A = this chain, B = another copy of it.
Amino acid sequence: MKKTKPKYMQIIDAAVIVIAENGYHQAQVSKIAKQAGVADGTIYLYFKNKEDILISLFEEKMGSFIEEIDQMIAGKGTATEKLLMMIEAHFNLLSADHHLAIVTQLELRQSNKDLRLRINDVLKGYLKVIDKIIIEGKESDEFSSDLDVRLARQMIFGTIDETATSWVMNEEKYEITKLASPVHRLLINGFRSR
């Protein structure tokens, strides 16, 4: 509904820019409104409150990304190949959108516990995709049959996330996209049945 109105995405995109350039705690509603070219009050016609902007931001940006991933890896290829595709897609996304990388890896983590719980809800979709790959890998005997799915998922997500955060913190001095393959190899090595 609201989401089809042009100002909805306009405000979210403004929020990404403002947060990336000013930091989470300096991203006042009035600043986002000015960046979006609307009045402060207009924000509240599209979002319940400030937290709602941030949740929606994460849902729109990461939610659509997760769906893409899900479709991208549907059917074709082995679990090993799918994992590579996923990591590559993840690193490509961050590499392509400088502002979004800063916001998701650094700034949004400063949000309070409530907001982080809501963000985790969105991430659960991502974790499910990871779980699907792991289970598929175990069934196809690519991965060890006694591989603990939760641990493997935490390893994959933790490694990708830490790699991405380090890269952003180092001011993106190197090409993160080139890390997809070696990261993938390390993970697969750990999971492989032998």
Contact = CB atoms under 8 A, between A and B. Distances in A.
Contact of A25 (B112, B157, B163, B188): B112
B110 A111 contact: yes
Copies of this chain in the oligomer = 4
A39 to B, nearest CB: 15
Contacts of A159: 154-155, 158-159
B186 A151 contact: yes
A133 B6 CA distance: 53
Interface string A79-91: 0000000000000
Interface in A74-111: 106-107, 109-111
Interface in A141-187: 147-148, 150-152, 154-155, 157-163, 166, 169, 179, 182-183, 186-187
A166 B154 contact: yes
A151 B182 contact: yes
Contacts of A190: 186-190
Contact residues on A (Cβ < 8 Å of other chain), bracket = 35 or more
A23 interface: yes
Interface string A116-132: 11001000000000000
Closest 6 CB pairs of A and B: A158-B162, A190-B190, A158-B158, A189-B190, A158-B159, A155-B159
